[in-house]
Structure 1
Amino acid sequence: MRLRHKPWAKEEMEKNPNIVIQNPSRVKGKWSELFGNHHPIYVEVGTGKGQFLLGMGQAHPNVNFIGIEKYDSVLITAMERVKEAGLSNVVFLNEDVEEILDFFGEGEINRFFINFTDPWPKNRHEKRRLTYQSFLEKYELLLKEQGEIHFKTDNQGLFEYSLHSFSKYGLILNHVSLDLHNSNFEGNVMTEYEQKFHERNMRIYRCEAVFRQK
């Protein structure tokens, strides 16, 4: 994906610190205080332009959502969408998911969403996949007891790899769908990519992976 550089994006996000949280390491372990409540906290890694979290935030006002996106020229759109909608339960981090342990405390998160992530198809890039073991170790540390990962992709190879990775790690697989939009799954909120793929009648793969009791 080729990104159009927006040199003003970073400055604009800094003007909206209530939506794009600056220096998130200072909030580590204190996200409930930032939101002002003790609602569940759901995190999307690689949030893109924010369509998914916007829809989720509107549909679930009693859940707090945090989107992580390292490209400011993409995240600025997500910020503008949430600002226009006036949502107080959706915020973003302009950070790299590789550093996720710096932003959250142990057992602070209830659920992770991984949507249409880069498949990194070459074997030498396996460690970059967001469902690789090293990432699962980080998610497990940050999730509450029996926390969940909800995963969606259009890439069959990545889906098969992820199912194997989840199973090998010892996660319990639920609601595995090989064709999400032709299933009986209810409450699905589409991402930008998902909407495009759906319009092209492309198959969407989805599963939920639950960590066992610690």
Structure 2
Amino acid sequence: MRMRNKPWAAPELNACEFFVRNPSEHIGKWHAYFSRRQPIHLELGCGKGLFLAGLAPKHPEINYMGIDLKDAVLAPAKRNIEQAFQEQNRKPDNVVLMAQDIERILTVMNAEDAVERIYINFCNPWPKAKHNKRRLTYPRMLENYKQILAKGGEIYFKTDDDPLFADSLSYFAESGFEIIKITYDLHAENWPENVLTEHEKMFMERGIKIKALIAKIPVS
């Protein structure tokens, strides 16, 4: 779906204290960027920010980072996060948004930035075989994530797409990840804290079952 241009988005983001326009300037130094040094959880493709808005205010003991490419989605994310923090009479001091192509994540983060958890929520399934390599769970992407995951770090993955989920199981195995939890109907099971995203709500209303997994690199 084509994203409408929002002329107000760039100026509002540029004035936002928790938005980073040039994230490459902070590579290797993200832990120091936050006011408190504590575990970092990273959402890839954060969209309109409902997931981060649901987690960050409730977990001040964790620093959250959200990555997406377009100002047109990051600006609404900024507003949603601000509103969630305002409801708790807090400032968003444990969250950062950045504009970045996820395929080039290693230009803005490295092993020094060690994140404890990566979230991939309802990414583009890229169903055509010639486009599969653009999937956020494709092996070459997983290899990139391994370079920024802390020892024992985990990837949480959710999708509505059956072929993507089936292929992703192979991708994780190929890249040396261990699947430590899996479900083919997330909302029928008792899982760790689950925050509904905009897409998740839409799929639930259509009766589409949500698939999910937690993967990690075995600690030797």
The answer to whether the superposition gives a TM-score over 0.5 is yes
Q: Give runs of aligned pairs for residues 113-152 of structure 1, distance below 5 A.
A: 113-152=119-158
Question: Who is 1:97 aligned against?
Answer: 102
* Cα distance in 2 for residues equivalent to 1:163 and 1:198: 22
* Cα distance in 2 for residues equivalent to 1:145 and 1:76: 33
Q: CA deviation at 1:80?
A: 1.1
Q: How many residues are treated as equivalent by the alignment?
A: 213
Question: Who is 2:58 aligned against?
Answer: 59
Q: CA deviation at 1:7?
A: 2.1
Determine whether 1:185 maps to 2:191. Answer: yes
C-alpha contact (below 8 Å) 2:50/2:81 kept by paired residues: no
Q: Which amino acid aligns with 2:105?
A: I
* Cα distance in 2 for residues equivalent to 1:82 and 1:183: 28
Deviations 1:150-202 (A, max 9, x none): 00000011000101110121211021010000112141111110011112221
C-alpha contact (below 8 Å) 1:54/1:90 kept by paired residues: no
From 164, 168, 185, the counterpart of 1:162: 168
Runs of 4+ aligned structure 1 residues displaced above 3 Å come to none
From 190, 193, 200, the counterpart of 1:194: 200
C-alpha contact (below 8 Å) 1:19/1:83 kept by paired residues: no
Structure 1 window deviating more from structure 2 (179-188 vs 131-140): it is 179-188
* Cα distance in 1 for residues equivalent to 2:155 and 2:192: 17
* Cα distance in 2 for residues equivalent to 1:71 and 1:82: 17
* Cα distance in 2 for residues equivalent to 1:98 and 1:170: 20
* Cα distance in 2 for residues equivalent to 1:98 and 1:54: 24
Q: CA deviation at 1:8?
A: 2.4
Deviations 1:82-141 (A, max 9, x none): 223232111101111112111112152111110000000000011101111110111001
Q: CA deviation at 1:213?
A: 2.9
Q: Which amino acid aligns with 2:75?
A: I
* Cα distance in 2 for residues equivalent to 1:149 and 1:75: 22
Question: Who is 2:88 aligned against?
Answer: none
* Cα distance in 1 for residues equivalent to 2:59 and 2:82: 17
Q: Which amino acid aligns with 2:38?
A: H
Q: Runs of 5+ in structure 2 lacking a partner?
A: 86-90
Q: Which amino acid aligns with 1:54?
A: A
Q: Give runs of aligned pairs for residues 73-84 of structure 1, distance below 5 A.
A: 73-84=72-83
* Secondary structure of the structure 1 residue equivalent to 2:19: coil
Determine whether 1:40 maps to 2:46. Answer: no
Q: Which amino acid aligns with 2:174?
A: K
C-alpha contact (below 8 Å) 2:38/2:61 kept by paired residues: yes
Determine whether 1:10 maps to 2:30. Answer: no
* Cα distance in 1 for residues equivalent to 2:126 and 2:143: 19
Q: Runs of 5+ in structure 1 lacking a partner?
A: none
* Cα distance in 2 for residues equivalent to 1:169 and 1:105: 18
Determine whether 1:153 maps to 2:159. Answer: yes
C-alpha contact (below 8 Å) 2:46/2:67 kept by paired residues: yes
Q: Which amino acid aligns with 2:66?
A: G
